Amino acid sequence: MNELNIKSRLVRYGELIPCKTAFIDTHTPGSNQKENFTIIGSGVSENPEQHVHINIPHGFNIGAAGQSPKCNNSLHSHRTAEVFFVLSGRWRFFWGRHGNAGEVTLEKGDIFNIPTGIFRGFENIGDNYGMLMAILGGDDAGGGVIWAPEVLLEAQKHGLVLSEKGKIYNTLKGQKIPYNENSMEILTEEELKEFPEYTTGEVVPYYVARYLDLHSLSYDKPCNVIGENGKIFDKPGFDVEFISERSFKKDNGIYNKDIVLIPVEGYWRIKSKICDLILNPGDTFSLPKNNKYSLEPTKPGMATIYKVIPTDDMPGSTHRK
């Protein structure tokens, strides 16, 4: 593989291209400062102009959300996994039909495998711009976003409508849904009863893993964070591992599918017969399958990295023990 092809699999944090009109709530006060990034795969963006950095199918999507303080991401649901880990900032996640069934605060490095089928939202409660990295199950990420009724109704007040195919049209700019499509139907009260309501106690102990805990658990080998044998039990079509500066020597093997590496802290050198790269916090690198590699921090100190590994499990609803 030549240098050009390697660059097509490497997305530097500083080169991420945001979309500020990715979703139907893009004009809603409190949500209109969001920046969405589609890093691997098409994600669930409702704007066809969203820039996709890496189009190679992996069996999952990688994206990111950047938000200024007090910026809110509106209540929505997914049919496949939605996993977030905090790259920077302090975030409040909330869930339930009206966003008041439960909540949790996450900080740098914390990871949250949000159960499928529940309405969820999040906001930046820190003092500075923050960034969340996201892993979505499946190449098509479950077919898109399911919005709470209030989100679609509020968007209409600001001229935005969503088609049944999940694309945004701005009526204030004279845009109209094509004649052969309909607008997205708003969920009925009967349909809304099918979305579970979980308390904080039913979610946080089983679906949240704290950064410092993962660092402790990876003292002699990488920590399996999400997977059939993970700290968080699930089979969403991918596994997530956590590697620290103490466990990198045990990170080895050759994978028969492309894997993805995203550093949280420190600078990491990855070497194989096809590459020799330094990865910085927030960079995303897709290593092609069937490549033996070595991975190590470039200098002593706190260094951590997440690794996403495709599995043969079908993406779908959250698996619960």
Q: For residue 2, is pLDDT > 80?
A: no
Neighbours of 104 (CB within 10 A): 18
Which of 74, 94, 91 lies closest to 131 in space, CA to CA?
Answer: 91
Q: Is 283:13 a contact under the CB 8 Å cutoff? A: yes
Fold of the 211-310 domain: Jelly Rolls (2.60.120)
pLDDT digits (tens, 9 = 90+) for 87-124: 999 999 999 999 999 999 999 999 999 999 999 999 99
Q: Which residue has the higher pLDDT, 2 or 165?
A: 165
- Residue 252 confidence class, pLDDT cut points 50, 70, 90: confident
pLDDT digits (tens, 9 = 90+) for 50-69: 999 999 999 999 999 999 99
* Angle made by CA atoms 313, 318, 320, in degrees to the nearest 5: 105
- Residue 211 confidence class, pLDDT cut points 50, 70, 90: very high
Which pTM does this prediction carry?
0.95
Sheet holding 304-310, edge to edge: 10-11, 284-287, 259-265, 304-310, 238-244, 223-227, 232-233
Q: For residue 140, is pLDDT > 90?
A: no
- Residue 202 confidence class, pLDDT cut points 50, 70, 90: very high
Q: Measured between alpha carbons, how far is 138 from 227 in angstroms, rounded to an integer?
A: 15
Q: Measured between alpha carbons, how far is 22 from 36 in angstroms, rounded to an integer?
A: 7
Q: Helix (H, G, I), strand (E, B), or coil: what is residue 154?
A: helix
Question: What's the mean pLDDT in 235-264?
Answer: 94
- CA atoms lying within 13 Å on the CB side of residue 3: 2
For the chain, how big is the Rg over CA atoms in Å? 19
Residue at 211: amino acid letter: Y
Four-way CATH pick for 13-208: 3.40.50.300, 1.10.10.10, 3.30.420.40, 2.60.120.10: 2.60.120.10
- Residue 249 confidence class, pLDDT cut points 50, 70, 90: confident
Q: Is 294:21 a contact under the CB 8 Å cutoff? A: no
Residue at 77: amino acid letter: S
Instruction: Quote the tokens at residue 106.
Output: 């996450």
Domain boundaries along the sequence of the chain: 13-208, 211-310
pLDDT, mean over the chain: 94
Residue 1: CB partners within 8 Å, gap ≥ 6?
274, 275, 288
The reply to whether 13-208 and 211-310 are identical in fold is yes
Q: For residue 142, is pLDDT > 70?
A: no
Which of 4, 70, 6 lies closest to 279 in space, CA to CA?
Answer: 6
Q: What percentage of the chain reaches a pLDDT higher than 90? A: 84
Q: For residue 1, is pLDDT > 70?
A: no
Question: What's the mean pLDDT in 35-40?
Answer: 96
